[in-house]
Structure 1
Amino acid sequence: MSELATNHPRLIIPSLGSIYAALGESAETILRVAAGLLLVTHGYGKILNPFGASGMVESLGFYPGVFWSPLLAATEFFGGILIAIGLFTRPAAFAAMIVLAVTVYFHGIVQAEGLMGAEKSILWTLIMFYFVIRGANSHSVDARLGRQF
């Protein structure tokens, strides 16, 4: 069958196909767990001082800061935990994606760093977008429960 008929690209080294097939889901799990845990570490300082970012969020136009700052902390810290374990993956990734999209605006526009300053935030936003669309795989609490959003 041709490449178009099967919708699978022909590999330059066909013997690697079984390796790719065997590790594909594991690689996705590693990305999800790593992204979640890194989000947890980023939110850890904020969860210890949930009102500490009040001034920063107000400078971005989110009033009142005493509401948005703890929400930011919870989204990063608890959302990261949920993403890492794969529980409520899509809603947690969606919330994180929104937070990270705001950081794109913050670094790219507010701090006038342009693309070079926003590139990490753009990458993180797209990683969260992937998990919003894809959800968690079979290596997740969502899969163990047999339900996903």
Structure 2
Amino acid sequence: MTDYTTADTRYIIPGLRGLYAALSPLTVLYMRLIAGIAFMAHGWPKINAPMDAVGMVEGLGFQPGWFWAPLLAATEFFGGLLLAVGLLTRPAALATSIVLCVTTYFHWVAQAQGYAGAEKSLLWLAITLYFVAHGGGRFSADRAIGRQF
């Protein structure tokens, strides 16, 4: 798990070193919470009615839909929950990243919306990939238990 420190950085205004050091873990926590909650919000309707998404996932080429639709629901909701808590952060972030790769393809290619249609998915993908690479940060359950994936 990477905790970014300001010890090895030469700042134009050195007095800001302490502020940046204090804000760094809080911004990682904020980003992880917002990403996790957003995934949970998107996954909640699918968890309540996972078979309602069968047609959508089959339309994307994922056959059989009865298998992929509940998997999508679980990935969005429970992956978001794990991300928000910071437990098994890297696998949760990887799973949600895969979903975001599919949504990027769907908007950019399948719906021919190009970058403009895929922009939100690409931004969320950047966030989830950050957590794949760096883990949950200082204020995560992974850190609290002293273990990470």
Q: Specify the alignment match of 1:119 in structure 2.
A: 119
Note the aligned Cα RMSD (angstroms). Answer: 1.5
Q: Specify the alignment match of 2:3 in structure 1.
A: none
Distance (Å, rounded) in 2 between the aligned partners of 1:60 and 1:126: 22
Distance (Å, rounded) in 2 between the aligned partners of 1:9 and 1:88: 30
List, as ranges, runs of 4+ consecutive aligned residues in structure 1 with deviation greater than 2 Å. 6-14
Residue identity opposite 1:70 in structure 2: P
Q: Which structure has the greater CA radius of gyration?
A: 1
Q: Specify the alignment match of 1:93 in structure 2.
A: 93
**Identity across the alignment (%):** 56
Give CA-to-partner distance per residue, 1:29-56, whole Å, 9 cap, x none.
1100111011101111111111111111
Q: Specify the alignment match of 2:17 in structure 1.
A: 17
Distance (Å, rounded) in 2 between the aligned partners of 1:45 and 1:13: 48
Q: Relative CO higher for 1 or 2, CA cutoff 8 Å, sep ≥ 6?
A: 2
Residue identity opposite 2:31 in structure 1: L
- TM-score under structure 2 length normalisation: 0.92
Distance (Å, rounded) in 2 between the aligned partners of 1:70 and 1:94: 18
Question: In the comparison of the two structures, how many residue pairs are matched?
Answer: 144
Give CA-to-partner distance per residue, 1:61-80, whole Å, 9 cap, x none.
10000100000000000110
Per-residue deviation, 1:7: 9.1
1:134 aligns to 2:131 (yes or no): no
Map 1:54-73 → 2, pairs under 5 A: 54-73=54-73
Residue identity opposite 2:103 in structure 1: T
Specify the SS of the correspondent of 1:61.
coil
Q: Specify the alignment match of 1:36 in structure 2.
A: 36
Distance (Å, rounded) in 1 between the aligned partners of 2:76 and 2:40: 6
- TM-score under structure 1 length normalisation: 0.92
